[in-house]
């Protein structure tokens, strides 16, 4: 049988390095060895690419000695994974599966390299990844597409540095002084750098904190909201799973509530009325198409407890992917078990590459 060679990328330079290792453990465990030859490619926190049998275990244990430094060239005439020292081919890759979250994995930068290299890969392309990652650009596209989002203000770090009191005045005017506000770095994940601000002094602290993590900072009206998530899968005809609900153990879904506090609950299906679930699924698919997503994304909503209105909060184009993560659990509950979900994502990556090959770049 002709095995497809899948390069599984994990680790990486983002704050979600450990989350990525956990996701990759599940992916490597479930990929069907009858169908696929697996090449493990670990990226260290410094950004070094290392490959070899047991690379995941080595990265997890911090013992990298036995691994081979490798690279992927942006040169499609020299394809495949290459030995960094000799330039020799280590493995031809049919599909790359980036099991990476956040910066340098989910934000379009890696996708740019994969496009240059001409290799098929799982998930969204450059634009879908970058817009999905950037909370301000994402919300602007949603608003232009008629998808409801919570009102927000975007600021630059330089404005905060120059005149933080003036910035606070402007935020209070734009958001009608209606505390609490949520302050967020524009490009990050796992709730890092996010604060819920109940007062001017909280806002002051929150702005300084978020400005450590990004040049661009969002401030949003804070809602008293339920958190509903929907998994979307597909390329040009994406489909939505049933919705799930997160019940965070904390005041909001903080880093601790996401990864440390076992009291955070996932409810599948989300206990919401059928008609609302259907409408949110349609909205999730519309949002996915609006940013030209491909492969997969988890689409996260806020459902206002007071008004009953829903708002699209964000999309995650490489969502948490352990067997107990929301993205695969929602598919499992919708009839697609974890190993079949992986097959589907690999098929979609190949389909998208075929689609791309139809495009000509030079006038004939």
CB of 84 to ligand ADP, least distance (A): 33
Please choose, from the candidates 177, 185, 175, 234, the residue with its C-alpha nearest in 3D space to the C-alpha of residue 211.
Answer: 185
Hey, how many other C-beta atoms are within 10 angstroms of the C-beta on 295? 26
Q: Does 131 bind ligand ADP (CB under 6 A)?
A: no
The stretch near ligand ADP (CB under 6 A) out of 42-50, 171-179, 200-208, 246-254 is 246-254
Q: Does 253 bind ligand ADP (CB under 6 A)?
A: yes
Assigned token pair, 185: 């770095």
- Determine which residue in the list 182, 321, 327, 338 makes contact with ligand ADP, applying CB under 6 A: 182
| Binding footprint of ligand ADP, residue count (CB under 6 A) | 20
Nearer to ligand ADP by C-beta: 94 or 300?
300
Q: Does 227 bind ligand ADP (CB under 6 A)?
A: yes
Nearer to ligand ADP by C-beta: 8 or 225?
225
Q: Does 239 bind ligand ADP (CB under 6 A)?
A: no
- Residues 150-169 interacting with ligand ADP (rule: CB under 6 A): 150
The stretch near ligand ADP (CB under 6 A) out of 76-84, 118-126, 182-190, 345-353 is 182-190
CB of 23 to ligand ADP, least distance (A): 15
Q: Does 129 bind ligand ADP (CB under 6 A)?
A: no
Q: Does 209 bind ligand ADP (CB under 6 A)?
A: no
CB of 190 to ligand ADP, least distance (A): 5
CB of 224 to ligand ADP, least distance (A): 7
Q: Does 191 bind ligand ADP (CB under 6 A)?
A: yes
- Residues 76-105 interacting with ligand ADP (rule: CB under 6 A): none
Binding-site ranges for ligand ADP (CB under 6 A): 150, 182, 184, 189-191, 194, 220-223, 225, 227, 248, 252-253, 300, 302, 313-314
């Amino acid at each position: 049988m002709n095995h497809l060679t899948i390069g599984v990328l994990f680790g990486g330079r983002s704050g979600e390095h450990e989350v990525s290792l956990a996701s990759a453990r599940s992916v490597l465990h479930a990929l069907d060895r009858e169908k696929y030859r697996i090449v493990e490619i670990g990226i260290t926190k410094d950004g070094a690419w290392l490959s070899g049998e047991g690379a995941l275990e080595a990265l997890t244990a911090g013992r990298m000695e036995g691994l081979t430094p490798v690279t992927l060239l942006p040169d499609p005439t020299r394809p495949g994974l290459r030995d960094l020292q000799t330039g020799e081919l280590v493995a031809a890759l049919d599909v790359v599966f980036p099991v990476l979250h956040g910066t340098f994995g989910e934000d379009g930068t890696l996708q740019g390299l994969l496009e240059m290299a001409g290799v098929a890969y799982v998930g969204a392309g450059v634009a879908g990844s970058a817009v999905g990652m950037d909370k301000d650009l994402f919300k602007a596209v949603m608003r232009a597409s008629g998808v409801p989002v919570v009102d927000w203000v975007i600021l630059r770090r330089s404005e905060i540095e120059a005149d933080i009191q003036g910035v606070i005045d402007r935020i209070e005017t734009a958001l009608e002084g209606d505390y609490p506000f949520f302050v967020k770095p524009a490009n990050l994940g796992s709730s890092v750098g996010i604060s819920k601000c109940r007062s001017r002094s909280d806002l002051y602290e929150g702005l300084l904190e978020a400005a450590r993590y990004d040049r661009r900072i969002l401030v949003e009206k804070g809602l008293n909201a339920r958190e509903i998530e929907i998994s979307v899968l597909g390329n040009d005809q994406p489909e939505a799973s049933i919705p799930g609900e997160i019940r965070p153990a904390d005041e909001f879904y903080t880093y601790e509530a996401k990864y440390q506090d076992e009291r955070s609950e996932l409810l599948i299906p989300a206990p919401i009325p059928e008609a609302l679930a259907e409408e949110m699924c349609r909205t999730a698919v519309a949002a996915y198409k609006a940013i030209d997503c491909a492969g997969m994304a988890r689409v996260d909503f806020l459902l206002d407890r007071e008004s009953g209105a829903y708002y699209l909060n964000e999309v995650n184009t490489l969502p948490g992917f352990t067997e107990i993560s929301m993205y695969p659990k929602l598919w499992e509950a919708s009839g697609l078990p974890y190993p079949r979900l992986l097959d589907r994502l690999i098929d979609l990556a190949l389909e998208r590459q075929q689609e791309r090959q139809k495009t000509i770049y030079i006038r004939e």
